[in-house]
């Protein structure tokens, strides 16, 4: 059935978008999956105001395919365009512009929530506001998000202007971050996790903005370059061993670090700029059969300087560096949802090849730093956080529980509430 409704038989059910979460928020043990990808119709788009109404199974890519040529972009986008609009809401995802634009939920004008008893709730800041807040970042537990009205962002070209700058250590990062955030809507830094001592926290800082029409027209080399699905690379097989072992990582990280950093004024099309990993389908396979873990936390402003420092020290000491270590600060805007992950502070995201015992004990060390710093882990990227840590970091979880649909559950929710 293409119009959104629950199956007539009894649950439990777990809502599934496009499965782009790393952990188990969209997985289930004994529940039936409700797949939403088929809810992929647009309902209305006004190119004068940038308000888009669509069903929740529409992917971010499908939104962009429709709107970019008409001068509108997602106000917030995560690092994959294969996420669905419903999934982006359920995890209240963030992008490189959190400091300037907040999270995905901040740009949702309203949504239609279908409950398993057949009730349909229209939710917005004005109408059913508590249901709205419970559903933004609500991990797919408050009901099936059927359709959504989004406010998009006006752009003048599909291109980005990108600048980058190295920093030698963490204190340089904090300084650079202050000045960059004041001037650029998109910022993010890559950190070399293997660097030690005086080099601890060295990395490259990237800032970007949408290119304005004037610069776009005056640059002849820029022609629209949509990267089609066929042109993306596929990682065909699981590699038998993790390619991200210590050696290849060292090579990768130092290569990355030495990669000539362009001075002011590089250009990038929005696809490779926002979605570098989408270009390599099944990129996670390079980690081998055992897979990998993501670890993403946010630490509040008061504790983030010391906390990030302590985490990088622990990682560097363990020698279990990460392929992607991303550091960014979130802005001051209050969270959109009851269980939203983004909140003021600094967020660090890493991934680790699964080396069982080693990896687990490092995680325990990192957990205790996050715990002491009063921080939080990101449910969308988690397959293992301890229940106490979740409850400390998401104090609204008990209030939230009132809004859970009795027919919905997920492995994640069972794990952190029992």
Partner 1 sequence: MNVLNKVMIIGVTSSIAEHTARQLVGKGASLYCVARNAEKLDSIVKDLNVRAPNSNIIGAVMDIRDSQGHMKLLDDAINALGGLDAILVAHGTLPIQKDCESSWETTLVEIDTNALSVLSLLTLVGNYFEQQRRGVIAVISSVAGDRGRQSNYVYGAAKGMVSLFMQGLRNRLFKSGVSVVNIKPGFVDTPMTVGFEKTGPLWAQPDSVASGIVKAMEKGKGDVYLPWFWAVVMFVIRHIPDAIFKRLSL
Ligand X SMILES: Cc1cc2nc3c(=O)[nH]c(=O)nc-3n(C[C@H](O)[C@H](O)[C@H](O)COP(=O)(O)OP(=O)(O)OC[C@H]3O[C@@H](n4cnc5c(N)ncnc54)[C@H](O)[C@@H]3O)c2cc1C
6 is a site residue for partner 1 (CB under 8 A)? no
Shortest distance (Å) from residue 52 CB to partner 1: 8
Contact status, residue 14 vs residue 28, Cβ threshold 8 Å? yes
Contact status, residue 166 vs residue 76, Cβ threshold 8 Å? no
Query: Residue from 6, 13, 16, 45 that binds partner 1 (CB under 8 A)?
Result: 45
Contact status, residue 146 vs residue 4, Cβ threshold 8 Å? yes
Binders in 63-82 for partner 1, by CB under 8 A: 66
CA distance 299 to 192: 19
Query: Residue from 28, 67, 73, 87 that binds ligand X (CB under 6 A)?
Result: 87
Q: What is the dihedral of CA 82, 88, 94, 97, to 10 degrees?
A: 70
The smaller minimum CB distance to partner 1, of residues 229 and 402, is found at 229
Query: Residue from 6, 28, 36, 373 that binds ligand X (CB under 6 A)?
Result: 36
Which residues fall within 8 angstroms of residue 137, CB to CB, at 6 or more apart?
Answer: 89, 90, 91, 92, 103, 105, 335, 336, 337, 338, 339, 340, 341
247 is a site residue for partner 1 (CB under 8 A)? no
Distance between alpha carbon 324 and the CA centroid of its chain, in Å? Answer: 13
- Establish how many alpha carbons lie within 13 A of residue 235's alpha carbon, considering only the half-sphere containing its beta carbon: 16
Q: Pick the piece of the chain touching ligand X (CB under 6 A) from 84-92, 167-175, 217-225, 351-359.
A: 84-92
Binders in 257-286 for ligand X, by CB under 6 A: 277
102 is a site residue for ligand X (CB under 6 A)? no
79 is a site residue for ligand X (CB under 6 A)? yes
DSSP state of 393: H
Shortest distance (Å) from residue 147 CB to partner 1: 10
214 is a site residue for partner 1 (CB under 8 A)? no
Query: Residue from 21, 147, 164, 242 that binds ligand X (CB under 6 A)?
Result: 21
Query: Residue from 28, 67, 80, 304 that binds ligand X (CB under 6 A)?
Result: 80
Q: CB under 5 to 8 A by kind: which of partner 1, ligand X, none does 148 bind?
A: none
237 is a site residue for partner 1 (CB under 8 A)? no
54 is a site residue for ligand X (CB under 6 A)? no
Q: Pick the piece of the chain touching partner 1 (CB under 8 A) from 43-51, 268-276, 351-359, 390-398.
A: 43-51
Q: CB under 5 to 8 A by kind: which of partner 1, ligand X, none does 353 bind?
A: none
Q: Pick the piece of the chain touching ligand X (CB under 6 A) from 140-148, 160-168, 197-205, 384-392.
A: 140-148
CA distances from 30 to 7, 288, 405 (A): 16, 27, 17
The smaller minimum CB distance to ligand X, of residues 47 and 185, is found at 185
Distance between alpha carbon 267 and the CA centroid of its chain, in Å? Answer: 23
CA distance 89 to 142: 12
Give SS3 for 97: coil
DSSP state of 334: P
Shortest distance (Å) from residue 149 CB to partner 1: 13
3 is a site residue for partner 1 (CB under 8 A)? yes
- 412 token code pair: 């994640």
Q: Could you tell me where the beta strands, DSSP code E, fall in 291-395? A: 292-299, 325-330, 345-353, 376-377
- 92 token code pair: 């209240």
Query: Residue from 5, 19, 27, 42 that binds partner 1 (CB under 8 A)?
Result: 42
Q: CB under 5 to 8 A by kind: which of partner 1, ligand X, none does 3 bind?
A: partner 1
Contact status, residue 43 vs residue 54, Cβ threshold 8 Å? yes
206 is a site residue for ligand X (CB under 6 A)? no
Query: Residue from 28, 61, 91, 187 that binds ligand X (CB under 6 A)?
Result: 91
Q: CB under 5 to 8 A by kind: which of partner 1, ligand X, none does 144 bind?
A: ligand X
376 is a site residue for ligand X (CB under 6 A)? no
CA distance 395 to 338: 9
- 152 token code pair: 């998009």
Q: CB under 5 to 8 A by kind: which of ligand X, partner 1, none does 350 bind?
A: none
Contact status, residue 309 vs residue 78, Cβ threshold 8 Å? no
Q: CB under 5 to 8 A by kind: which of ligand X, partner 1, none does 277 bind?
A: ligand X
**94 phi/psi in degrees, rounded to 5:** -125, 165
CA distance 323 to 250: 10
Site of interaction with partner 1 (CB under 8 A): 1-3, 38, 41-45, 47, 54, 66
Site of interaction with ligand X (CB under 6 A): 14-21, 25-26, 36, 56, 78-80, 83-84, 86-88, 90-91, 93-95, 139-140, 144-145, 277, 380, 410
């Amino acid at each position: 059935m293409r119009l959104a409704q629950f199956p007539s038989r009894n649950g439990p059910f777990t809502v599934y978008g496009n499965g782009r979460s790393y952990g188990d928020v969209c997985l289930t043990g004994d529940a039936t999956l409700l797949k939403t990808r088929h809810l992929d119709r647009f309902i209305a788009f006004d190119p004068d105001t940038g308000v888009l109404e669509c069903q929740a199974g529409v992917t971010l890519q499908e939104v962009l395919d429709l709107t970019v040529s008409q001068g509108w972009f997602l106000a917030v986008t995560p690092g994959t365009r294969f996420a669905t609009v419903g999934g982006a809401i359920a995890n209240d995802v963030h992008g490189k512009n959190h400091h300037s634009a907040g999270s995905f939920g901040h740009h949702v004008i309203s949504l239609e929530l279908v409950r398993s008893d057949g009730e349909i709730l229209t939710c917005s800041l004005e109408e059913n506001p508590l249901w709205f807040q419970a559903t933004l970042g609500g991990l797919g537990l408050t009901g099936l998000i059927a359709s959504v009205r989004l406010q998009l962002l006006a752009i003048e070209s599909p291109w980005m202007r990108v600048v980058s700058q190295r920093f030698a250590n963490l204190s340089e990062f904090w300084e650079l971050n202050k000045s960059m955030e004041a001037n650029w809507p998109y910022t993010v830094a890559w950190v070399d996790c293997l660097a030690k001592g005086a080099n601890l926290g060295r990395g490259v800082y990237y800032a970007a903005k949408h290119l304005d029409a004037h610069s776009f027209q005056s640059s002849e080399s820029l022609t629209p370059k949509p990267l089609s699905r066929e042109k993306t690379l596929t990682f065909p097989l699981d590699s038998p061993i993790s390619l991200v072992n210590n050696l290849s990582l060292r090579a990768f990280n130092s290569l990355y670090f030495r990669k000539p950093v362009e001075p002011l004024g590089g250009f990038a099309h929005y696809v490779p700029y926002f979605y570098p990993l989408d270009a390599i389908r099944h990129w996670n396979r390079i980690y081998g059969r055992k897979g990998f873990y993501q670890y993403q936390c946010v630490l509040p402003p008061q504790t983030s300087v010391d906390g990030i420092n302590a985490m990088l020290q622990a990682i560097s000491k363990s020698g279990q560096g990460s392929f992607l270590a991303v550091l960014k600060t979130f802005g001051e805007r209050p969270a959109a949802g009851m269980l939203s992950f983004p909140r003021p502070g600094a967020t660090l995201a890493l991934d680790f090849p699964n080396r069982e015992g080693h990896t687990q004990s490092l995680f325990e060390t990192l957990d205790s730093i996050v715990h002491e710093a009063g921080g939080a882990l990101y449910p969308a990227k988690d397959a293992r956080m301890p229940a106490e840590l979740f409850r400390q970091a998401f104090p609204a979880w008990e209030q939230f529980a009132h809004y859970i649909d009795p027919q919905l559950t997920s492995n994640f929710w069972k794990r952190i509430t029992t």
